[in-house]
């Protein structure tokens, strides 16, 4: 066992012991404190002779410990701490520390603190709750491998209509963008975002859709603008989703203080079929392109990155899942050689303790 693993095990043991003592205390004092511990183990292995970019090793990608409870009769709180493997070190960081309520004003909920921004689809879910192993190319490029988290305030309003229409809007510090480990710099305009979502239910199908917008102007006066669509369709069969279709499409525009603006766009589509409560299979299709790529003459250069990722998932329960994904990635650019990567990912996720109910 490497020094990294030893250190990780030690830290995890301390956290679990702490959480159990809190849990025991909570069960006695009626505070309603729940603890959830999630471990996300991922191995990536090259399938072709050429370097496919995978590390050929099986590691702890992330461990996360979350405490959540009602704070009092009005507010709820969550604190989640995650450890990532970065540069051979287990880096612990606060993922979420927020106070929220939906009990102050009818139709309105508020959140204050640090959290993953309420935009798109994947950004609103913990990575261990995603239906596939790793982030699609487009979300990886625009939001990082996990998602964008920041400190600020977010409000969500449910419109009083017969159809579900919800507007979420928030403002965060914006000193950094993405999943950063440095302090960053005070931006000219902080990160601000909104998502308008709706839900339709034709027959047995549940269809949730959302339109998102995010903008920020950095200290260097570089303006970032993101516009995206997300959609999820599900058909439930008894106790499991028989059919799932998840998609996101995003467009990003970055305008520096001087020079040309850059534009890129991408999408992913993930259909999945559930054979039973335990077994499901899906295939994700990814596409990404830099729209503003130009040659010395100012002519546009055609380019694209696309891929498909067949994924097989076995779940013994909602608390343990095993996943196999075969990644096929192709990068093309006019007048350049096409490059291809093939690698397999093996994932095991287990959850100890509570697991709160999920959004649709």
Partner 1 sequence: MISKIRIFLLLAFFCASKSYAVLKVMASTENLKTVVKEIGGAHVEVESYCKGNQDPHYLEAKPSFMIKTHQADLVIAMGLELEVAWLPKVLSGGRNLKVMKGKKGYLEVGPLLDVLEVHTGHITRADGDVHPDGNPHVDLDPIRIGQIGKHVAARLALLDSKNKGVYEANAQKLMERMEAKTKVWAKRIAATGTKKIVTYHKTLTYFIDRFGLQSAAILEPLPGVPPTAAHILDVIKVAKQAGVKLTLVENIYDDSVAKRVAKELPGMRVVKVPISVGGRQDILKLDDVFEALVVAFEGDSK
Which residues bind to partner 1, rule: CB under 8 A? 73, 102-103, 105-109, 158, 160-164, 166, 197-199, 201, 206, 208, 234, 236, 238-241, 276-278, 317, 319, 356-360
Which residues in 201-302 belong to E strands, given as ranges? 205-217, 223-237, 240-255, 262-274, 279-290
Which residues 6+ apart lie within 8 Å of 201 measured at CB? 207
Alpha-carbon distance 174 to 219, whole Å? 10
Instruction: From 329, 323, 347, select the one nearest 288 (Cα to Cα).
Output: 329
Nearer to partner 1 (CB atom), residue 154 or residue 329: 154
DSSP per-residue letters across 52-115: -S--SEEEEEEEEEEEEEE-SSS-EEEEEEEEEEETTEEEEEEEEEEEEEEEEETTEEEEEEEE
Q: How far is the CB of 239 from partner 1 (least distance, A)?
A: 4
Q: How far is the CB of 169 from partner 1 (least distance, A)?
A: 15
Q: How far is the CB of 266 from partner 1 (least distance, A)?
A: 26
Are 227 and 212 in contact by the 8 Å Cβ rule? The answer is yes
Nearer to partner 1 (CB atom), residue 199 or residue 308: 199
Nearer to partner 1 (CB atom), residue 114 or residue 166: 166
Q: How far is the CB of 215 from partner 1 (least distance, A)?
A: 26
Nearer to partner 1 (CB atom), residue 198 or residue 262: 198
Nearer to partner 1 (CB atom), residue 179 or residue 355: 355
Q: How far is the CB of 129 from partner 1 (least distance, A)?
A: 13
Are 190 and 171 in contact by the 8 Å Cβ rule? The answer is yes
Nearer to partner 1 (CB atom), residue 289 or residue 313: 313
Q: How far is the CB of 1 from partner 1 (least distance, A)?
A: 27
């Amino acid at each position: 066992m490497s020094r990294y693993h030893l250190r990780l095990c030690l830290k995890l043991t301390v956290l679990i012991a702490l959480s159990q003592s809190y849990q025991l205390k909570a069960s006695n004092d009626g505070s309603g404190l729940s603890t959830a511990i999630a471990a996300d183990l991922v191995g990536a292995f090259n399938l072709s002779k050429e370097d496919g970019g995978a590390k050929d090793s099986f590691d702890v990608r992330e461990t996360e410990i979350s405490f959540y409870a009602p704070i009092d009769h009005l507010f709820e709180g969550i604190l989640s701490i995650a450890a990532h493997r970065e540069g051979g070190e287990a880096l612990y960081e606060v993922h979420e520390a927020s106070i929220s309520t939906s009990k102050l004003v009818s139709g309105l909920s508020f959140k204050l603190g640090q959290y993953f921004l309420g935009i798109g689809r994947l950004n609103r879910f913990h990575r261990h709750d995603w239906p596939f192993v790793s982030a699609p190319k487009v979300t990886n490029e625009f939001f990082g491998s996990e998602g964008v988290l920041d400190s600020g305030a977010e409000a969500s309003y449910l419109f009083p209509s017969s159809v579900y229409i919800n507007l979420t809007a928030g403002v965060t510090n914006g000193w950094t963008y993405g999943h950063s480990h440095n302090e960053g710099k005070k931006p000219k305009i902080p990160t601000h975002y909104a998502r308008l979502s709706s839900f339709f239910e034709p027959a047995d199908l549940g269809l949730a859709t959302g339109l998102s917008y995010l903008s920020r102007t950095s200290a260097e006066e570089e303006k970032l603008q993101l516009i995206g669509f997300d959609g999820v369709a599900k058909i439930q069969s008894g106790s499991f989703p028989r059919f799932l279709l998840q998609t996101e499409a995003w467009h990003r525009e970055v305008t520096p203080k001087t020079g040309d603006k850059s534009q890129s766009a991408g999408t992913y589509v993930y259909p999945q079929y559930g054979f039973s409560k335990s077994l499901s299979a899906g295939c994700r299709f990814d596409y990404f392109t830099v729209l503003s790529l130009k040659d010395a003459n100012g002519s546009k250069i055609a380019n694209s990155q696309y891929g498909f990722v067949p994924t097989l998932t076995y779940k013994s329960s909602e608390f343990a899942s095993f996943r196999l994904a075969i990644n096929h990635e192709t990068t093309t650019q006019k007048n350049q050689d096409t490059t291809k990567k093939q690698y397999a990912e093996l994932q095991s996720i287990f959850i100890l303790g509570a697991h709160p109910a999920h959004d649709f």
